[in-house]
Structure 1
Amino acid sequence: MRGGGTAWREFAGNRGGLIGLVVLGLFVLTAIFVPLLISDSALDVTRATGGRLESPSGNFLLGTDENGTSILALTLWGTRMSLVVGLAATLLSVLIGTTVGILAAHFGGWLSAILLRFTDFFLIMPSLVLAIALSAVLEGGAGTIILAIGVVSWPTSARLVRAQTLSVEARPYIERAKALGGGHSHVIFKHVLPSVLPLVFVNTTLAVGSAIVAESTLRFLGLGDPNEVTWGTILRSASNSGAITYGAWWYLLPPGIAIALVVLSFTLVGRALETVLNPKLRERR
């Protein structure tokens, strides 16, 4: 296995991945330090000092919403919740998918048949419709959105991990480990899991972007807590306030561009990691 230094040099040689990593770093720093940059009191509509749908100016660089609140403040604060929900939903999805995939491939038999039918059920179900149904039935809030996205988006990870696990378990050293008395937990945690973790890591990176888009979609449809500031709730408020008819482009573009940038950045980083960790892809370069 190559060292971390070699892997980093190969990743740094991928210009797209490096740009994506820098942009993601800026988003993460914004999410962490936004309370130091802009007080949460700037989000209080009772303290808003701007006019209704005021265009960008020296006082409000990105204009204001229908309540006179700064769009810049809303967008920066929305970074925190959108990233947290997207990352948490992806981790839940990958955890479920990895567990199901490894168990289905390792044990086989009736357990594999049940898990695969269960996976197929979620694969054929429209994920957005199922997420909407779960979000509507459960109590509103970030936790509900995380659960809804995580529960409906794990089958792809399960299929990928299952295929990788079957490939790993066909190798001779797995047979030797079993012949020497290695139990299920030994084989899974000492041999299988370390071999599938690179794939899981890459899949996690690629899936975050989809989770953020799903979160924004659910928020735009009015699901979850409307008082939580996210990019999706900003777009919903813009739509409800007639920003399109009014021509208030400054209300729509900032959250939309933020979503596009963060999704593109996660995709670039994920593709770069895939190239670094997958020998076959490195040979094609």
Structure 2
Amino acid sequence: MNIVWQRRRSAAGRLWREFASNRSGMLGLAMLAVFVLLALLAPLWISEADLSVVTAPGDVLEPPSAEFPLGTDHAGRSVLDRTIYGARVSLVVGVAAAVLTVGIGTVVGMLAGHFGRWVSAVLMRVTDFFLVLPALVLAIALSTMLSRSLATIILAIGVTSWPSTARLVRAQTLTIEARPYIERAQALGGGHKHVLVRHVFPAVLPLVLANTTLAVGSAIIAESTLAFLGLGDPANESWGLMLKQAVDTGSVTAGAWWYLLPPGIAIVLVVLSFTLCGRALEIVVNPNLKAHR
């Protein structure tokens, strides 16, 4: 067991060194660390009173100043405070929805690739059904039918975004199960559970992790879109909610650019950071991409 863990630690160290050699990946990781740090420390200097429309500290649509570096919104609240606090919801929903998406896709893809025949046929037809349906439209339908909460948004995004992961994992599972050591494991009495848990899953895990990183960015965009359409949780600050309120209150037409740009730029930067990390992980775990780097 110690030898196994030593090999795993050695492999993890090797992967980290290869990832650290990728400049764009490290840039994305640094940007992501800044967003996570701001989200975690936000409650230390931003109080609920600062985010309340009743006790807002500033004037309505006040332009950027020394007191309010990014100006104020339609209720006199600091746009900078709301943007920082909005990172909490966007990151939580993005990560949770991505984990759910990749989790469903991984299970479906592994089962379809391992069992084959009618199991694969049924699972792939279900996957094709979800691929045909527009994911955003289905997510809007689910968000409309269920109560408006963060859990609903996570469920709506996760249930509608897994098919591409399932196809990717299925293809990888078929490749892995064609290797000789899988046949030896089955010949020695290894059952389906042993093969899937002990051999297939560890082999597809690096690809799954890279795909999860990329899926977070898509989930954050989906959450912002749902919130912008009025299907988010109004009780929680998010970047999509800020964009919606900026449009609904006429702040954009009034020329209050400082209300619209910060949440939009924040969405672009956090999605870019996850994308850079995901691409770097793909290069590390995919030898073909590494060869053409």
What TM-score do the two structures reach when normalised by structure 2? 0.95
- Residue number in structure 1 paired with 2:190: 182
- Residue number in structure 2 paired with 1:205: 213
Structure 1 CA distance for aligned equivalents of residues 132 and 45 of structure 2:
45
Matched, 1:21 2:29: yes
- Residue number in structure 1 paired with 2:44: 36
What SS does structure 2 have at the residue aligned with 1:246? Answer: coil
Structure 2 CA distance for aligned equivalents of residues 196 and 249 of structure 1:
45
Of 129, 136, 157, the residue aligned with 1:128 is 136
- Residue number in structure 1 paired with 2:113: 105
Matched, 1:227 2:227: no
Unaligned runs of 5+ residues in structure 2 are 1-6
1:3-54 Cα offsets, whole Å, 9 max, x none, are 3333222212211111000000011111111101212221011111211111
What SS does structure 2 have at the residue aligned with 1:257? Answer: helix
- Residue number in structure 2 paired with 1:146: 154
Cα RMSD over matched residues? Answer: 1.0
Whether the 8 Å CA contact 2:50–2:57 is kept in 1: the answer is no
What TM-score do the two structures reach when normalised by structure 1? 0.98
Of 193, 201, 204, the residue aligned with 1:196 is 204
1:207-254 Cα offsets, whole Å, 9 max, x none, are 100000000000000002222100000000000011111110100011
Structure 2 CA distance for aligned equivalents of residues 284 and 6 of structure 1:
19
Whether the 8 Å CA contact 2:49–2:56 is kept in 1: the answer is no
Structure 1 CA distance for aligned equivalents of residues 166 and 202 of structure 2:
16
1:90-122 Cα offsets, whole Å, 9 max, x none, are 000001000000011111121111110000000
Q: 36-45 vs 243-252, which deviates more?
A: 36-45
1:113-161 Cα offsets, whole Å, 9 max, x none, are 1110000000010010000000001110100000000000000100000
What SS does structure 2 have at the residue aligned with 1:47? Answer: coil
Structure 2 CA distance for aligned equivalents of residues 57 and 89 of structure 1:
37
What are the within-5 Å matches in structure 2 for residues 1-285 of structure 1? 3-285=11-293
Q: 10-19 vs 179-188, which deviates more?
A: 10-19
1:142 maps to amino acid = L
Whether the 8 Å CA contact 2:140–2:231 is kept in 1: the answer is yes
